[in-house]
Amino acid sequence: MSATVSDPDTEPRPGTMRRVVTASFIGNLVEWFDYAVYGYLATTIAVVFFPESSATAGLLSTFAVFAVSFVIRPIGGIFWGHFGDRVGRRTALSLSILIMSAATFVIALLPGYAQVGVLAPILLLVVRLVQGFSAAGEYAGASAFLFEYAPRNRRGTFTSVVPASTASGLLLGSVVVTALTATLSAEDMESWGWRVPFLLAAPLGLIGRYIRAKLEDTPEFRALEQQESQVRAPMRETFARNWPAILIAFGVTCLNAVGFYILLSYMPTYLSTELGVDDTASFVSTTVALTGYIGSVFVMGRISDRFGRPAMLMTAGVLFVALSVPVFLLLGLSGLVGVTLIQLALGIMLSMNDGTLPSYLAELFPTEVRFTGFAFSFNTANALFGGTAPFIATFLIEVSGSRLAPSWYLALAGAVAVVSLLAARRSVPARSTERETDRTAVP
């Protein structure tokens, strides 16, 4: 074995780190492009698969399928966490991208309600469940992979690649859908245009799989293998010794879960259905916001290396508590330029949280259960609050009659994150024996 295996503190060569970053970025982009296009095509999918419903009921049904696919994510988190902590991070990530790409490609081939009736939404739900199972291992696995390769004082910078690549997947989906809606008629979109983004899944997935398969696993995991110190039951070990960290990770992730899916996935639907913004204009506005988010995520990750993860996360939580409602109020009073600038500001606010979150969650758990602890807590929060966010936002608007309802939900998520960070100061002890411990590890 190389010195990297026997000494996990040895920093990888720059060329190795570039390949690790490239593989993580491209692989995560592919996974989340596949997953995001469903949200961007929600209004079209509602017509294709739920034509017997009213416009609102069809949209709710579409978002319900979106939300139900998240139910399996905690189960997927346990599976991929166990796989990643026992077999390896690289192997888990290489397999998950194949499953995601295959499931997304299948969506492109599904018959609509007009062809097979009620079987169409049932098939859609089944494939979405497979997508959810695959996605459960991606964010946590890629974060652990980068965290364990990165130099200790630049972990925030390098792990910020994960939310940046996730948003890049959304951005690619937004660009593709924007191009389709701008060039095709509504009839063509409902007939065949909506299938095009899903068809791209197969070639993109094979590219991502090829890049990942060319890498070695992380130095820390290879060190565990050499010492034969992987735990036999990572989930049991995580609950037995790290349950406070699971609770803290769950609470802190709530802001990411709600914010990410409302601001970066549901927003085009909100703009078009609630504010009357043209479909193409709403996608253009969201594309601008995503671009700003991606750039600022890297900046926030780097700042967290300097000032600490808790300070960044706390600031983001407080900002969402204080500003969500006023900003959404302005959103409803603004033209296209104002809407775009407001979305950009919200994206930068969210990047303060999301650019810091991967390294914070990775630091909460020791190496031998890092994948499991991260994946379970992150996916459980997203199952309960992320996947349901578009549905809850639409439902709250319907029952309350207020277009500000999503902003109150965002503010509540920010409050949960703030309370969790305050609780972490007392309930998560410092780990002096772990090599990853530094001044940013525990608030």
Distance from C-alpha of 227 to C-alpha of 148, rounded to nearest angstrom: 17
pLDDT of residue 4: 38
pLDDT of residue 13: 67
Rounded to the nearest 10 degrees, how much is the dihedral formed by the CA atoms of 358, 364, 369, 370?
20
pLDDT of residue 31: 73
pLDDT of residue 148: 93
If one counts the domains in the chain, the total is 1
pLDDT of residue 64: 76
In a domain, 258, yes or no: yes
In a domain, 147, yes or no: yes
Domain that holds residue 321: 3-427
What is the CATH number for 209?
1.20.1250.20
In a domain, 439, yes or no: no
In a domain, 433, yes or no: no
CB neighbour list of residue 241: distance below 8 Å, 6 or more residues apart: 369
pLDDT of residue 45: 85
In a domain, 219, yes or no: yes
Residues in the chain predicted with pLDDT less than 70, given as ranges, are: 1-14, 35, 52-55, 427-443
Q: Which residues of 164-200 are buried (b: 16+ CB within 10 A; e: fewer)?
A: bbbbbbbbbbbebbbebbeebeeeebbeebbbbbbeb
pLDDT of residue 429: 54
Q: Are 406 and 316 in contact (CB under 8 A)?
A: no
> What would the pLDDT profile of 138-162 be if each residue is shown by its tens digit?
889 999 999 999 998 899 999 999 9
> What would the pLDDT profile of 393-431 be if each residue is shown by its tens digit?
888 998 998 889 999 999 999 999 999 999 988 766 544
Please compute, for residue 375, the number of CA atoms within 13 A of its CA located in the half-sphere on the CB side.
35
What are phi and psi for residue 115, nearest 5 degrees? -90, -45
pLDDT of residue 54: 65
In a domain, 322, yes or no: yes
pLDDT of residue 14: 65
Sign of torsion, CA 165 89 129 254? negative
Longest Cα–Cα distance of the chain, Å, equals 64
Distance from C-alpha of 432 to C-alpha of 103, rounded to nearest angstrom: 43
pLDDT of residue 442: 39
What are phi and psi for residue 15, nearest 5 degrees? -65, -40
Distance from C-alpha of 147 to C-alpha of 156, rounded to nearest angstrom: 8
Predicted TM-score of the model (pTM): 0.83
In a domain, 383, yes or no: yes
